[in-house]
Amino acid sequence: MTATTLRASYTIAAPILQRFNAVVPHGERSRVMEALMTQALVAREADLQNLAEVFMTDPAFAQCREDEIRWNATVNDGLESL
Residue 14 falls inside a structural domain: no
- Residue 33 domain-assigned? yes
pLDDT tens digits, residue range 1-48?
567 999 999 999 999 999 999 999 999 999 999 999 999 999 999 999
Domain that holds residue 66: 28-74
Q: Is residue 38 part of a domain?
A: yes
CA dihedral 82, 80, 68, 41 (to 10 degrees): -150
56 occurs within a structural domain:
yes
Task: Tell me if 32 is assigned to some domain.
Answer: yes
> Is residue 82's pLDDT more than 60?
no
**C-beta neighbour count of 61 within 10 angstroms:** 14
Give Cα separations from 79 to 18, 40, 47, 75, 82 (angstroms): 59, 42, 36, 8, 6
- Give the separation between CA 23 and CA 31, rounded to whole angstroms: 14
Q: What is the pLDDT of residues 41-72, one digit of tens each?
A: 999 999 999 999 988 898 998 999 898 888 88
Overall domain count for the chain:
1
Q: How far is CA 7 from CA 16, 30, 33, 60, 79, in A?
A: 20, 10, 12, 45, 45
Q: Is position 23 within any domain? A: no
